[in-house]
Amino acid sequence: MLLSPLNWLIHLSSSLEWGVALIMLYRYGQFIGRKDVRRFALFMLPHWIGSWFVLLYHISGDAIMRFLEMSEVINLVGSIALLYATIKILKGDEKRAAKPAKAWMGSLFGGVMLVAGGSTPYSFMMGSSWFDAVLQVSSIVYLTFLVLLLKVRKKDPEVFSGLTVAGFWFVLVFISVTVVCMYIAMHVLGYQSLSHDDFLHGFAESLLSVSNLMIVIGIHKQRKLAEQRLRG
**Average pLDDT for 141-146:** 96
Span of 28-32, 65-69, 109-113, 223-227 with lowest mean pLDDT: 109-113
Kindly give the residue spans of alpha helices, DSSP state H, lying in 33-161: 35-42, 45-59, 65-90, 98-117, 120-126, 130-155
- What pLDDT does residue 1 have? 60
Q: What is the pTM of this model?
A: 0.83
How far CA 38 is from CA of 21, 26, 45, 114, in Å, comes to 12, 5, 12, 30
Question: What residues have CB less than 8 Å from 200, skipping those under 6 apart?
Answer: 181, 184, 185, 194
How far apart CA 128 and CA 135 sit, in angstroms, is: 11
Residue 138 reports pLDDT greater than 90: no
pLDDT at 133: 79
Q: Kindly give, in sequence order, each residue whose CB lies less than 8 Å from that of residue 224, ignoring residues fewer than 6 positions away.
A: none
pLDDT > 50? residue 105 = no
> How does residue 128 score in pLDDT terms, banded at 50, 70 and 90?
very low
Q: Which is more confidently placed, 109 or 144?
A: 144
Strand, helix or coil for residue 161: coil
The fold adopted by the segment(s) 5-227 is Rhopdopsin 7-helix transmembrane proteins (1.20.1070)
pLDDT in tens, 115-126: 333 333 333 444
Q: For residue 78, what pLDDT band results from cuts at 50, 70 and 90?
A: very high
* pLDDT reported for residue 162: 97
Quote the CA–CA distance of 175 and 162 in Å, as a whole number.
21
Q: Domain residue spans in the chain? A: 5-227
Tens of pLDDT, residues 55-68: 999 999 989 989 98
For the segment 173-201, what is each residue's pLDDT rounded down to a tens digit?
Answer: 999 999 999 999 999 999 988 989 999 99
As a whole number of angstroms, the distance between CA 92 and CA 146 comes to: 18
- Torsional class of 62: left (φ above 0), alpha (ψ -120 to 50), beta (otherwise): left
Average pLDDT, the chain: 85
pLDDT at residue 108 is higher than 60: no
